[in-house]
């Protein structure tokens, strides 16, 4: 083997080694995560990201007389209502919880396009729990059943107000989306898009 041939052989070996190393070290697109596992993790993260808001309100209540099938009982009910004038007022404290109903979230809420994932959030879920230890009933001659009606009326009023409060709902959405985006990036997606509806198959770019 001539000197020139040996040089060419060495150069070819170096080139082959560089190509092999480049092939081994080339960036690889990670395999997409298991969808069922991702959904399970998203449910847990969303549960922990429920927004909690403290509320209080002064409410009043005057029960209506009960209506029965017996005429004389109706008369007695109206008389008792007119004479006793049942009424009550209370300062009611409660906690409102705004989150997303991830029990209704599944693989059909996700669309994966390479390393991009589209997410449709489930409906928002609002729960209101009264804080009886801090609730104060004032100026009341209601019996226990009527007092329970008063407090339930307050709870329902809180719930309606929270459902109508777009700012609170946006706070809950922003918090949940931040947490879910961080999770999805961690498991391998590079771009996370929250959308109202998933793109048609083949149209996501």
Please name the helix (run of DSSP H) or strand (run of DSSP E) that holds residue 134, with its range, or none.
Answer: none
Report CA-CA distances (Å) from 195 to 8, 109, 110, 198. 59, 10, 10, 7
Tell whether the torsion through CA atoms of 43, 186, 176 and 33 is positive or negative.
Answer: negative
Closest CA to 100 of 184, 159, 177: 177
Main-chain phi, psi angles of 126, to 5 degrees: -115, 125
Q: How would you class 99 by CB atoms within 10 Å of its CB: exposed for 0-12, middle for 13-18, buried for 19 or more?
A: buried
Domain spans of the chain, in order of start: 30-194
Residue 118 near residue 203 (C-beta atoms within 8 A) = no
Give per-residue pLDDT as tens, 14-67: 445 545 545 444 445 455 566 777 778 877 777 667 788 888 777 776 665 555
Closest CA to 53 of 136, 144, 126: 126
Predicted local distance difference test score (pLDDT) of residue 5: 56
Cα 25 to Cα 75: distance, rounded to the nearest angstrom: 91
Structure tokens at 113: 């396009």
pTM of the predicted protein model: 0.63
Cα 74 to Cα 17: distance, rounded to the nearest angstrom: 100
Q: Which of 12-16, 23-27, 181-185, 198-202 shows the highest mean pLDDT?
A: 181-185
Give yes or no for residue 97 having a pLDDT over 70: yes
């Amino acid at each position: 083997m001539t000197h020139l041939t040996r040089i060419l052989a060495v150069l070819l070996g170096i080139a082959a080694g560089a190509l092999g190393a480049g092939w081994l070290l080339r960036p690889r697109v990670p395999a997409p995560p298991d969808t069922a596992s991702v959904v399970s993790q998203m449910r847990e993260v969303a549960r922990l990201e429920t927004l909690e808001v403290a509320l209080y309100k002064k409410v009043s209540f005057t029960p209506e007389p009960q209506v029965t099938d017996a005429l004389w009982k109706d008369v007695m009910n109206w008389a008792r209502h007119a004479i006793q004038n049942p009424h009550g007022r209370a300062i009611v404290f409660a906690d409102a919880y705004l989150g997303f109903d991830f029990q209704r979230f599944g693989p059909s809420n996700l669309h994966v396009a390479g390393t991009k994932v589209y997410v449709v959030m489930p409906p928002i879920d609002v729960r209101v729990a009264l804080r009886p230890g801090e609730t104060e009933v004032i100026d009341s001659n209601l019996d226990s059943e009527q007092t329970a009606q008063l407090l339930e009326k307050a709870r329902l009023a809180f719930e309606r107000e929270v459902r109508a409060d777009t700012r609170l709902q946006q706070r809950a959405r922003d918090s949940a989306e931040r947490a879910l985006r961080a999770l999805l990036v961690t498991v391998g997606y590079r771009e996370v898009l929250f959308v109202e509806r998933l793109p048609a198959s083949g149209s996501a770019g």
